[in-house]
Amino acid sequence: MKSIFLMGATGSVGEQTLEVLASYPQRFSLYGFSFFSQLEKAREIIHRFSPVLVVAGEEESAECLKKEFPTIRILTGENGLEEAAVSNYNFFVNAITGSRGLLPTLAAIRKKKEIALANKETLVMAGDFIMSEAKKYGVTILPLDSEHSAIFQVMQGISAPSQIRKMVITASGGSFRDVTRAELSSVTKEAALTHPNWSMGEKITIDSSSMVNKGLEVIEAHHLFGISYDQIEVILHRESVVHSMIELADGAILAQLGASDMRQPIQYALTYPEHLPIKEETAFSLVDLAQLHFAPMDYERFPMLALAFYVGKRGGTFPAVYNAANELAVEAFLNEKISYLQIEDVIKKAVSEHVEVEKLTLENILTVDQKTREKVERWLTCPQEL
């Protein structure tokens, strides 16, 4: 029986993780979970899974739950996340978006919890530190993203990184894959939130359309698998059937294929190294698909992906700047404070103005993250100056 603490239970990945837990009650119990503001969903999870600990993102929600569920330990905010991360469970699932996922993950690693990670920002901001700590404490970080899970799955049996010539990460192209750069100037929030293949949260859907999400995945893959950026290739694949591939030194290509169903990578992380049946499995047939399409990436069309490779190769605190600027820019776009293309303007401006710190420490990374956010907040008060 795996006792699980789930960060981000009311988000898209969190909800699908709960489906997996419910499918195998003899294998999994929900020790605790976190949510940000969706109080009604949190109540439903409590009634369904009977956790002993809950972390609320807002004090008002926490007070409501304390009155309704006096026997449950209720914590609040980022301090609550870090406290919960070191409590009495054995499997940590990080399914939240944003930089808030970093410190709880680090705390869980240092308590030698098993880690399943969907929070890209943890490795983007501090991948060197996270992977170093994971090695130090003997913790394997199991990927929840479909692309990284695909790579992880096909790498089973590959004994040395030297056997890998290239990693190929596939990209659907997102909401605007058939839209020209010129047409992007007038796209709406509603259009940006319509993904052709996947059902995801708002932030990830916007990131997918700008290809920032794929950029974050590139940086994450670099840290997860110890592969150089020059060995990572991104290609367009409209159907999202081939989730990613590796090319071996002898030219053989190994690919992981399947339905666009996040429960598969989630369940594999939770049951690793076993593959178990998925309850109410999504129908999938290569015969029905008939054709799969692949195309080279157009980095002029998707400049944020090119910028991700740049900040990844620069290293240091540059990836943290890229991530922080994007988080605030996407939030501003979703709140209709800036236009879609101004998301790119914010990120480019933040990266171009960044001066690297003299010494790379975790504290300096967090400081750069905070200062970037403060700077971007000032820009967003006068978006016409971007």
pLDDT, tens digit, for every residue of 153-170? 999 989 888 899 999 999
Tokens of 299: 């980095």
Q: Which residues pair with 76 in a beta bridge?
A: 56
Helix, strand and coil in the chain, % to nearest 5: 50, 15, 35
Question: According to the per-residue pLDDT averaged within each range, which of 21-25, 238-242, 285-289 is highest?
Answer: 21-25
Q: Which are the contacts of 67, defined by CB distance < 8 A and separation ≥ 6?
A: none
DSSP assigned state of 385: G
| Nearby residues of 240 by Cβ (< 8 Å), 6 or more positions away | 170, 172, 197, 198, 260
**pLDDT at residue 329 greater than cutoff 90:** yes
Angle at 119 between CA 153 and CA 25, to 5 degrees: 65
CA neighbours closer than 13 Å in the CB half-sphere of residue 332: 26
91: nearest Cα among 180, 213, 4, 217: 4
Q: Which tokens belong to 383? A: 């978006």
Tell me how many degrees the CA angle 162-168-171 measures, rounded to the nearest 5: 160
Beta carbons of 257 and 149 less than 8 angstroms apart: no
Q: What tokens does 50 get?
A: 């009977």
pLDDT band at 199 (very low <50, low <70, confident <90, very high): low
Separation of CA 163 from chain center: 27
Tokens 């970037």 appear where? 372
pLDDT the model gives residue 196: 66
How confident is residue 268, by pLDDT bands cut at 50, 70 and 90?
A: very high
Write the DSSP string, 327-361: HHHHHHHHTTSS-HHHHHHHHHHHHHH----SS--
**Residue-wise over 112-138: b if at least 16 C-beta within 10 A, else e?**
ebbbbbbbbbbbbbbbebbbebbeeee
pTM over 0.85: yes
| Token pair recorded at residue 187 | 């796209």
Find the mean pLDDT for residues 11-22.
95
Closest CA to 143 of 199, 221, 212, 195: 221
- Summarised one tens digit per residue, pLDDT across range 60-110 is 999 999 999 999 999 999 999 999 999 999 999 999 988 899 999 999 999
Which residue type occupies 256?
A: Q
Q: pLDDT per residue over 112-148, tens digit each?
A: 999 999 999 999 999 999 999 999 999 999 999 999 9
Answer yes or no: are the C-beta atoms of 369 and 125 closer than 8 Å.
yes
Please report where in the chains the tokens 């993102």 appear, as a residue.
Answer: 57
Radius of gyration in angstroms for the set of CA atoms belonging to the chain, rounded to a whole number: 20
